[in-house]
Structure 1
Amino acid sequence: MGEDKDISDVAGLPDELGIDEDLGRAEQRLTVRTEERTYGKAMTIVEGFDDSSVDLSDLASQLKSQLATGGTVDDGRIELQGDHRERAADLLSDEGFQVEG
């Protein structure tokens, strides 16, 4: 009885459907904001990730590719060069995340 069950065990759905990952993303509330960096350059910050359920490096690579910009993962958040608040929020919503701000 003390076993940990994931949603696939409870729902009776096969693991290949990836329902655990989708539900994990839907429960996370991310914030997208900009900061001004050196020489007045804008930096878009995406934070609020649950590190255990998201591969931040992979997601950052996807965002950088889709936005045609540079960036990095630092302290559990994604930093993108430039002001990409609206487009990044749309892309994250398309990936199943709840986005605020």
Structure 2
Amino acid sequence: MEQMFIIPIRSLDSIGDIGAGKKVVSGQNGGPSFQDIFKEAVENVNTTESDLTRQQYLLSTGQIDDAHTVPAAAAKAQLSVELLTALRNKALEAYTEIIRISI
């Protein structure tokens, strides 16, 4: 699995640098954009939830040898949901702050 990271924000030289004829497909310096990071977090939640469901099924049918994998999968799924929730909350906070800026 690819590591998720956020590239630090760099200051602009002038306001004219915003959209100066360039179409930005990914984040600064070719890094992942917020949309890419958010999509990856959603996919991570889906993956961990399906893994947890599969582990629970294997445990309930007696096909699993080590029962400790189920709580580990549950913790992983919970952490991925918490990460997605934190990303959403931070995005909403940033949006709210941008709306408050008066021109």
TM-score by length of 2: 0.30
Considering Cα pairs closer than 8 Å and 6+ residues apart, tell me whether 1 or 2 has the greater RCO: 1
TM-score by length of 1: 0.30
- The higher radius of gyration belongs to 2
